[in-house]
Amino acid sequence: MLTPWEIKRKEYMPPLIMLKLNIKGSFFLAKVILLNLGTLKKMKKQGQKNIYMRPKLTYNIPKYKSSMKFCNLDEKYLRPTLYCDCRAPEIIALANELGAFKKSDREFAETAFEFAKRKIILEIIPLDGVVEVLQRGTGTCIHKISLFIALCRAAGIRGRYKFYALKMLDQWMQPAIDHAPLMKQWYDAMGYFLLHGEGEIYLDGKWIPADVGAEPQRQAAAGLPVTKLGEDSIGLWLFPIPGTITRRESVPLGLGFTGNLLIKRVAPDSVAGINIGILEQIERGGKIIEETGGEKTYDTMTRKKREPEKPKIELDEKKEIIFEG
């Protein structure tokens, strides 16, 4: 049972901006549903037509031994938080197998980053804990980053979450465009996507970005370079809505409930469609990498022809603009 003290201490309360975004998102979702009642009815009558087959695990979960080392400090960014139990035996075992306390912090973090990025496949699914993620081998960007943060915390590296509302490249949301027109409509109606979760870890005296959400194949399918630890997804394929970025020790409370409602109740077929689309994207990207001559060649080539750099813009207040409303 969570105590109010723990809720405050571990930053479990959702930030105000997240609450506002969720309310706005629910409003737009309701609008899309109301405007498409006929379509939804038809879809329900047809029964579930999108059948998603989860891919098989491509790794073994190592066995935990009591002799395994792990970080036991009750310090901010190093302790277990909601959905991120870094003291779970499976997480400690995996951290040790990936080289915790043997490799340098950076080397370990890179190994853990690659594991979460490559081995855990994106699947839109209700939030659950890191052990379930590891056992299933799939999860959303938040599941994936939770696993990475848990591994880092287990190895004594501070890790935190970064959440924001965002727009994304059309190619990136191809699975939704192809398989879930209502989801696409929701995105179009709002003008952005409600939430993306990535992480930051504290290395060599500074916080560095870590987005494990994108598998190399999906990046290839969207013509993106294969990003590494320290490379930001922001500006590459994700574009945050200004003022929505928030950094926290934990996934906030309530997020699981909203996700559950949307995924299980409101649009299970659309979600299954997106998950099918994700696997198609992975297959397509895999072919691109193969045809280009392997991941390294693909990555070098793509980085060379990346979009040119854009200016950065700060939204300074202007006294000439008067908001009367």
Partner 1 sequence: MTIDYDEYIKKFDSRVAKYIPPKNEWTPADYAVYGPKDLFRVPLKESKELQFNAIKYQFKRHFEQNKMYHGFCKDKKVTPDDIKKYDDLEKIPLIPNEFYKDYPTGRDFALWLANIFTGAIPSIKISQKEPNYDDVINAFNAAGLAVAYSSGTSGRHTFIPRDMRTFHISEYAIAKAAISMAYPIWDYDMHGYLLMPNPFKTNVYAGKVCTIYYDVIKHVTAAIDKELNTEIIRMSMIDGSGLKAKIIKSTLSRMNKKITDNIIKWLERNDKEKNKIVFAGAPSLLYNVTNKLKEDGQTFDFADRGAILTGGGWKVYEDRRLPVAEFRKEMEEILGIKPEYCLDAYGMVEGNAWMVQCQEGHYLHIPLCYYYPLVLDKEFKPVGYNQPGRFAFIDGSSYSYPAFIISGDQVRMLEHCPVCDRPGPVLEPEVTRASGKEMRGCAEEVRRMVSTDIGT
Q: Per-residue b/e over 247-282, b at no fewer than 16 CB within 10 Å?
A: ebbbbbeebbebbeebbeeebebbbbbbbbbbbebb
Q: How far apart are CA 226 and CA 223, in angstroms?
A: 9
Distance from C-alpha of 296 to C-alpha of 17, rounded to nearest angstrom: 40
**Residues 168, 194 contacting (CB under 8 angstroms):** no
Residue 317 interacting with partner 1 (CB under 8 A): yes
Asked whether position 291 contacts partner 1 by CB under 8 A, the answer is: no
| Tokens representing residue 62 in the block | 């190592």
**Span near partner 1 by CB under 8 A; candidates 98-106, 253-261, 290-298, 307-315:** 307-315
Q: Which stretch binds partner 1 (CB under 8 A): 83-91, 125-133, 264-272, 312-320?
A: 312-320
Q: How far is the C-alpha of 188 from the C-alpha of 259, rounded, in Å? A: 19
- Asked if residue 32 binds partner 1 (CB under 8 A), the reply is yes
Task: State the number of CA atoms in the 13 A half-sphere of 122 facing the CB.
Answer: 27
Nearer to partner 1, 68 or 241 (CB): 241
Beta carbon nearer to partner 1, 49 or 312: 312
Residue 254 CA to residue 13 CA, distance in Å, equals 9
What residue type is 296 in one-letter code?
K
**205-244 residues near partner 1, rule: CB under 8 A:** 223, 239, 241-243
Q: Rounded to an integer, what distance in angstroms lies between the CA atom of residue 320 and that of residue 323?
A: 10
Q: Which residue in the set 28, 161, 192, 237 belongs to the binding site for partner 1 (CB under 8 A)?
A: 192
# binding residues, partner 1 (CB under 8 A): 37
- Alpha-carbon torsion angle 265, 271, 275, 276, nearest 10: 110
Nearer to partner 1 (CB atom), residue 22 or residue 39: 39
Among the residue ranges 3-11, 79-87, 108-116, 300-308, the one whose residues contact partner 1 (CB under 8 A): 300-308
Cβ closer to partner 1: 56 or 312?
312
Instruction: Answer yes or no: are the C-beta atoms of 171 and 27 closer than 8 Å.
Output: no
* C-beta separation of 43 from 69 below 8 A: no
318 touches partner 1 by CB under 8 A: yes
User: Which residue, 51 or 315, is less far from partner 1 as judged by CB?
Assistant: 315
d(CA 229, CA 212) in angstroms, rounded, equals 8
Query: Would you count residue 322 as binding partner 1 (CB under 8 A)?
Result: yes
* Angle in degrees, CA 92, 93, 95, rounded to 5: 65
| 45 lies in the site for partner 1, by CB under 8 A | no
99, 181, 230, 256: which one contacts partner 1 (CB under 8 A)? 181
Kindly tell me which residue out of 188, 283, 290, 291 binds partner 1, with binding defined by CB under 8 A: 188
| 101 near partner 1, rule: CB under 8 A | no
Interacting residue with partner 1 among 171, 246, 260, 292 (CB under 8 A) = 171
Min CB(284)–partner 1 separation in Å: 14
- Taking CB under 8 A as the rule, does residue 310 contact partner 1? yes
**108 contributes a contact to partner 1 by CB under 8 A:** no
* Token couple for 202: 């504290």
74 lies in the site for partner 1, by CB under 8 A: no
Helix crossing, 89-97 with 105-119: angle to 10°?
110
Residues that bind partner 1 in the complex, under the rule CB under 8 A: 32, 35-36, 39, 167, 170-171, 181, 185, 188, 191-192, 223, 239, 241-243, 304-305, 307-318, 320-325
